[in-house]
Amino acid sequence: SAANTLTVCQDINMSGPCMTWSIPDRKCYHIGDAWNDKVSSYEPSGTMFCFLFRDSGCRGGYHGANTRVNSMGDFNDQTTSFQCNV
């Protein structure tokens, strides 16, 4: 089966620079300095549910979905860490 992935993009509608991570279940990831507070849209693969957190260590406020998110609204440019549940 294909790896579970999370794709994030710096602009709305999955545009601008994008990056895709392969995601082991429930592991917390720091998004990295180059992407910190820059995510504007994202898409988990398959039926995976992902949470994008404001703070490191998958803490603080979050935005979550199991489908493509074209605009994160008030959570735009807030993501520091993320975690996905397969």
Which domains can be identified in the chain, with CATH numbers?
5-85 (2.60.20.10)
Taking only the tens place, the pLDDT of each residue in 37-85 is 999 999 999 889 999 999 999 999 999 999 999 999 999 999 999 999 9
pTM of the predicted structure, to 2 decimals: 0.93
Q: Within 13 A of 86's CA, how many CA atoms are on the CB side?
A: 11
Convert the pLDDT of each residue in 17-41 to its tens digit. 999 999 878 899 999 999 999 999 9
Q: What is the 3-state composition of the chain as percent helix, strand, coil, each rounded to the nearest 5?
A: 5, 50, 50
Is residue 1 pLDDT above 90, yes or no?
no
State the pLDDT at residue 26. 86
Residues pairing with 44 in the sheet: 6
